Amino acid sequence: MKKQLFLLTMIIVLLLAVVASCATTVGVHVTRPAEVSIGGVKIIAVSEVQGARRSHAIDLTDAFTAKLTQANYFDSVIDRQNLAGIIKEQNLTLSGMVDDDAVVKIGKFIGAAVLVFGRITVDNYDEVERSEVEKRYDATTKKNYNVTVYKRTGTYTLSVNVQVTDAESARVIGAKSLKAVKIETTEADNQVPESINSTDLYLAAVEDLADSFMKFIVPYQEIVQVELLPDSKLPQFDTAIKLIKTGDLDGALEIAKELAMQDFVEKEVQSKAFYNYGILLVYSGRFDEGLRFLNNAFKVQPNNDLYSQAIRTARFEKSSAEKLQQQLKSQK
């Protein structure tokens, strides 16, 4: 009996240790640089996207233009109608995605600018119907029974190649293939399921492509999931986590700093204090200082994969922030 009680006690202790050592994930807002650097150009013109379905091409062109206008990143956004008017007025033509001669002539007319060209490569809706027999259990009759489940799956795939070109030199600044796949499934027991609205899927795909295009060309925000390491011997850090969740990163940093400056006997606790402060410093923009504390955590526990990964992440975040600052500075 004593042996069983001892084993039970040990299991409880181990479970409490596991719970105490579990990581807590918090979301932190981070501004990312655009994938392509425009280089200080303040005017952007959106040419009509090319595609077999002109209505879809126009939808995508207008979605790009609307997102650019809402972003307020460029001083001026020239939409497809105004660009078409300039092309007509200057007696120019744009053949294919890009015509270098026409681009340079447009650049001479509108000044320092970038032109956006696009071509839809995939515009397809596919629908599949299938059925399968499932076994169910009736709790009232306490019997098993079979049900034929009919399923209908609709998939809209929309892809576009985009290219950003300097209007003065016709130099390609950046090019990328963007793809959106939207899927919806309906199902019903022993009968035909509801139909799928392919138009809704198409519009959702257009929205996804417009968002992807914006990340390509304009700095954007995203939420990064950051792992923090609470510990029963760092009870103050629970308060820091709560502060982060309410948006008070500075308050959390003060608590994490106090803990990082203490001397703990247990290596695991000491390394956690270093790590927590270091990773919070990184996401407050203090990269070099954050790297120092993350390296301290790794020195205490060099076999901890989380710490080595955090060091790589900190270096990436520093490089990303430097690129962002260059982009924002050039747009002032």
Tell me the pLDDT tens digit for each residue of 106-118.
877 787 789 999 9
Residue 288 has which token pair? 């070099």
Contact 81, 62 (CB under 8 A): no
Residue 283 has which token pair? 């996401």
User: Can you give the pLDDT at residue 112?
Assistant: 75
User: Can you give the pLDDT at residue 332?
Assistant: 73
Max Cα-Cα span within the chain: 97
User: Can you give the pLDDT at residue 20?
Assistant: 39
- Rounded to 5 degrees, φ, ψ at 153 are -120, 125
Ranges under pLDDT 70 in the chain: 1-22, 92-100
β-strand pairing of 24-32 with 220-228: antiparallel
User: Can you give the pLDDT at residue 98?
Assistant: 57
User: Can you give the pLDDT at residue 92?
Assistant: 65
Report in angstroms the alpha-carbon separations of 241 from 12, 119, 129, 238, 297. 26, 47, 48, 5, 19
Q: Closest Cα to residue 296, out of 316, 276, 280? A: 276
Q: Closest Cα to residue 195, out of 156, 155, 152? A: 152
Neighbouring C-beta atoms of residue 12, cutoff 10 Å: 10
Quick one: three-class SS letters along the chain?
CHHHHHHHHHHHHHHHHHHHHCCEEEEEEEEECCCCCCCCCCEEEECCCECCCHHHHHHHHHHHHHHHHHHCCCCEEECHHHHHHHHHHCCCCCCCCCCHHHHHHHHHHHCCCEEEEEEEEEEEEEEEEEEEEEEEEECCCCEEEEEEEEEEEEEEEEEEEEEEEECCCCCEEEEEEEEEEEEEEEEEECCCCCCCCHHHHHHHHHHHHHHHHHHHHCCEEEEEEEEECCCCCCCHHHHHHHHHHCCCHHHHHHHHHHHHCCCCCCHHHHHHHHHHHHHHHHCCCCHHHHHHHHHHHHHHCCCCHHHHHHHHHHHHHHHHHHHHHHHHHHCC
Dist. CA 49–CA 185, nearest whole Å = 30
User: Can you give the pLDDT at residue 304?
Assistant: 95
User: Can you give the pLDDT at residue 118?
Assistant: 95
